Amino acid sequence: MLKRIALCLLAVVTVAFCCTACDSIGSVEQLLTPPRSGGELYDIQQALYNFAGRSVKLHYAHTGDNRSAFIRSDLDSDGVNEAVAFYSVANADGLAEIHINIIDTVDGGWVSVCDTATGASGIDKVEIAPLSEKGAPVIAVGAELFSSTANQISLFTYSKGHLYTRMKENYTRFLICDLAGVGYDQLVLLNHNSAERSAEAQVYSVGADYNTLLGAVSVDGNISGVTAFNMGKLTDGRAALFIDSAKSTSSMITDLVYFEGENLKSEFFDKTAGQTEATLRYNTLLCADINGDGTTDIPFAKLLPGYENLSADERMYLTIWRSFDGKKYADALAGDFNYDDGYYFEFPSVWLDKVTLVYDKSTNMHSYRLWNAEHNSALTEIVRLRCYSAAEYEDIQNDQLVELMRDDSRVWAARLIMTDGEYALDKEKVTDCFGKGEIK
């Protein structure tokens, strides 16, 4: 159990889109080495050179799954793959504008069949997926423009040697996923206007003949940037968009967007305040399935007892990961996350609101103590946790300690102080509550 949770710590929410029959060929390493003659990649690349010349520079997307200059996929649903290529050649203004080139098989050989300029200096992300029940795949190209700080997404379909533009929109982040739960994917955009401190999430259904805006909702735009934009799951199984945004270098919020019937909802955004406050936390943790049950959990921060009157940089928080079903939360895991020493300690449920943390700055020892609200004090110690250097650990009388974890240079260990009562932990329980992961 512990190991599973630890491994889940950095696991970003599963993005449940699938790229139908996409096959990226020509990885970064492959692109640095000319492909051997006789192979399909060689023939595809030669077809591009025959069209655009040998001096072209190849480009590939900076994010997403399709990070290749040549993406092979069946673009027109005829059962045979075509290839999408990205390249640039310097134009009259000296700008190396990226082009999209489609390479198809004609009479058994690879030939460039169409080409379009993008006005882009870079490719952010490429997805190829059908966006309607029976529709042909849509090629979604997210491009970084010369002329604007905003990215621009273009949707294309390919048929009989022609590339048809279906849509062009500015965006900050995009996803191709089934947020509406209809069995096929939609285009989900996030637009952050940093000048106006506003942001909007939009969901488009892209049909064979026209596109429909299924919903648009405000989310927090009073942010320094969007850190993660992922599809995940609510407790009732519904798909939802989890948007983790940085408020500052040490604080974050999560916006949650999902469909309630046909209405798109922005769960946490406060229209009156103009921002999202419900999920504000003083850490940089991102939403994740922390307990591995398939639902996405949001890391909330709860001030530990006794820290109410201290300054912001002295405050200590319990992190409570919660899943949501559209109405109520369920706690998945509550724990003290010690970023300096790379572990977390899960609070047993009887500890919640009863136990606080006292820490020693010089050794970074975390001591968990019963909180006495009447006397405003935390004198009764339950357990203390510390990360020692391996040499230091050998020098101390460590037979009184419970060794929790060890690596090449360090040992994590606990000293059990309280031995009786409902708040006390034994060796087995303290080991069970300890989780190590590459937490940030």
- Other residues' Cβ atoms within 10 Å of the Cβ of residue 393: 18
For the bound state, the minimum distance from the C-beta of residue 235 to Ca ion, rounded and expressed in Å, comes to: 8
Nearer to Ca ion, 23 or 293 (CB): 293
Nearer to Ca ion, 309 or 349 (CB): 349
For the bound state, the minimum distance from the C-beta of residue 75 to Ca ion, rounded and expressed in Å, comes to: 6
Nearer to Ca ion, 11 or 396 (CB): 11
Phi, psi of 217 (to 5 degrees): -135, 150
Structure tokens at 281: 């936390």
Where on the chain is the footprint of Ca ion (CB under 5 A)? 74, 76, 78, 80, 289, 291, 293, 295, 297, 332
Encoded amino acid at 216, one letter: A
Cα angle 376, 377, 383 (rounded to 5 degrees) comes to 145
For the bound state, the minimum distance from the C-beta of residue 66 to Ca ion, rounded and expressed in Å, comes to: 17
Say how many Å lie between the first and final Cα of the chain, rounded: 21
DSSP states along 22-60: -EEES-HHHHHSPPPTTSHHHHHHHHHHHHH-TT-EE--
Nearer to Ca ion, 124 or 289 (CB): 289
For the bound state, the minimum distance from the C-beta of residue 164 to Ca ion, rounded and expressed in Å, comes to: 15
- Other residues' Cβ atoms within 10 Å of the Cβ of residue 389: 11
For the bound state, the minimum distance from the C-beta of residue 136 to Ca ion, rounded and expressed in Å, comes to: 9
- Other residues' Cβ atoms within 10 Å of the Cβ of residue 176: 24
Nearer to Ca ion, 40 or 293 (CB): 293
Nearer to Ca ion, 119 or 292 (CB): 292
Residue bearing tokens 């919903």: 215
For the bound state, the minimum distance from the C-beta of residue 205 to Ca ion, rounded and expressed in Å, comes to: 24
Nearer to Ca ion, 325 or 360 (CB): 325
DSSP states along 156-219: EEEETTEEEEEEEEEESEEEEE-SS-SSS-EEEEEEEETTTTEEEEEEEEE-SS-EEEEEEEEE
Reference 225, options 242, 248, 202; nearest CA is 248
For the bound state, the minimum distance from the C-beta of residue 404 to Ca ion, rounded and expressed in Å, comes to: 24
